[in-house]
Amino acid sequence: MRIAHLIMVHKNPAQVERLLLALAHDGADCYLHLDLKADPRAFEHLARLPNVHFTPRRFFVRWASYRFTQAIVECTRDILATGIGYEFINLLSGQDYPLRPAAEVHAFLAAHRGQSFMAFEPENSPWWQHAVSRVEQYHTTYYRFPGQYRLQALVNGLLPKRRFPLPYTLYGGPDGSWWTISAECAAYLVQFLDTHPQLQRFSRFTWGSDEFLPATVLLNSPYRHCIINENYRYIDWSAGGANPRVLTAADFQPLARAPKLYARKFDIEHDAHILDRIDRELLRRQPPEPVYSAA
């Protein structure tokens, strides 16, 4: 069995290198999407690691805009176009880290061939009571121009609520951005968006579409019965706000007890000791020394 890790990266090349070393496995390839705003010279040494590749295209990503979803979909397309027989595509960020050794992750996925793992809530859930504004209102995060949010407020005050362009039940959730899906699901997602350009046009004026658009497409598809409502990520939203809390050494025990495969988010500039402890006690290895230096 072979899996592809698609890793969305925008900073911290040393932390990304550490993630790649933790993911290393004979049955895995890692594809790095480097945000077009990032300096590629700081990351180019990572391509010397075994089974590590940069995606052939880079996208300018704006947080919470459809640009992020678009980058994920297009990079997924590029992975599928390699012709390599991947059974899963696993979406990560450069601030994720595994909580189980790579061999255990691969054994788990090998036992669940044909299934996909996403975290989602239906449109009548408490999360959607707030998040529905992402769909019903116009958002200009895809663009950048003076006065855009003033114009956004004016438009939303004058125009009626928007409606999702397809007669679909909406699915999504705060952890919906990150998933592990079968290659068949991935191909369906890419093809569906290709054949429904109205959905792409609609999504350019949404907020946080990465948290609901892939789930909505796939859970209204013939593959819905193969999708498990669990993405096996540990993510702590206890601080409130639009971003999860940065995990530190104080979080080790909850991480160790969690029945998850990955966690986010980490920042070695804030606390690298948590990754040291995960390496020693959960991944059962010594914290790695950098294999290559950016210098």
pLDDT for 157-215, tens place per residue? Answer: 999 999 999 999 999 999 999 999 999 999 999 999 999 999 999 999 999 999 999 99
Instruction: Write the pLDDT tens digit of every residue in 91-147.
Output: 999 999 999 999 999 999 999 999 999 999 988 899 999 999 999 999 999 999 999
Cα(280)–Cα(286) distance, rounded to whole angstroms?
5
pLDDT of residue 273 exceeding 90: yes
Segments in 148-293 forming alpha helices (H) = 148-158, 183-195, 197-203, 213-219, 252-257, 273-277
Greater confidence (5 vs 287) lies with 5
The structure's pTM equals 0.95
Q: Are 185 and 226 in contact (CB under 8 A)?
A: yes
Find out whether 258 and 99 touch, Cβ atoms under 8 Å.
Answer: yes
Tokens of residue 221, six digits: 């598809």
**CB neighbours (10 Å) of residue 269?**
10
Q: Hey, is 293 helix, strand or coil?
A: coil
Which domains does the chain carry?
3-120+175-199+223-282 (3.90.550)
Pairwise pLDDT comparison (195 vs 242), residue with the higher score: 195
What is the reported pLDDT for 285?
78
Q: Would you state the pLDDT for residue 122?
A: 87
253 Cβ partners below 8 Å, 6+ apart?
Answer: none
Q: Which of 266, 219, 213 is nearest to 99 (CA)?
A: 266
Q: What is the pLDDT of residue 295?
A: 44
Residue in 293, 288, 275 with CA at minimum distance from that of residue 43: 293
Q: Tell me the chain's radius of gyration from C-alpha atoms.
A: 19
pLDDT of residue 292: 54
- The average confidence (pLDDT) of the chain is 95
Q: How far apart are CA 82 and CA 99, in angstroms?
A: 29
Q: Distance between CA atoms of 154 and 133, rounded to whole angstroms? A: 15
Over range 18-39, report the average pLDDT. 97
